[in-house]
Amino acid sequence: MDDKKTQFACAGCGATNRIPVDRLTEEPVCGRCGKPLLDGRPVELADDNFDAAIEASPLPVLVDFWAPWCGPCRAMAPAFEQAGRTLKGRALLVKVNSDDNPRLSSRFQIRSIPTLVRMHHGQETHRRSGAVPAQAIVGFAGV
């Protein structure tokens, strides 16, 4: 298994694309229909491909640590997606399922979710916990 790629379903045609995580900010397009794949949508990353993606990103990265059972996380998901569209080309939005990725949760000492972590050039610059509206997420990006 190549852990330096992430799967992404095309919103246009439904095809599953495998994108190298170090090229996420290069506006990848669908291999079948040619539509932009991310278009500001958050990317799911995991323990084994997180670092490669973060280190390769020339843009600030906002990481949303969440879990499926967490009500406030689910409530914030649409705001996070909306912020992603607003920040398209200016920041990369990433989601990490804290249950499925214990190494990242432990490394970032995630004690409550949702927690937003802003990273740039591979380093954490800010974080905040609790669900926030899209406007606050955009402000948090600082771009």
| Side-chain-side CA neighbours of residue 139 (13 Å) | 6
Q: Is 33 a catalytic residue?
A: no
Smallest distance, Å, CB 7 to Zn ion? 13
**Distance (Å, rounded) from C-alpha 83 to C-alpha 2?**
30
Residues 12-41 that bind Zn ion (CB under 5 A): 12-13, 15, 30, 32-33
- Three-class SS state of 90: coil
* Interface with Zn ion: number of residues (CB under 5 A): 7
Q: Is 73 a catalytic residue?
A: yes
10 binds Zn ion (CB under 5 A): yes
Q: How many helices (H) and strands (E) does the chain have?
A: 4, 7
Smallest distance, Å, CB 23 to Zn ion? 17
Nearer to Zn ion, 37 or 61 (CB): 37
- Three-class SS state of 126: strand
- Three-class SS state of 25: helix
Largest CA distance in the chain: 41
Nearer to Zn ion, 33 or 75 (CB): 33
Spell out, one character per residue from 48 to 67, where the chain touches Zn ion: x when CB under 5 A holds, - when not.
Answer: --------------------
Catalytic residue numbers read 70, 73
Residues engaged in binding Zn ion (CB under 5 A): 10, 12-13, 15, 30, 32-33
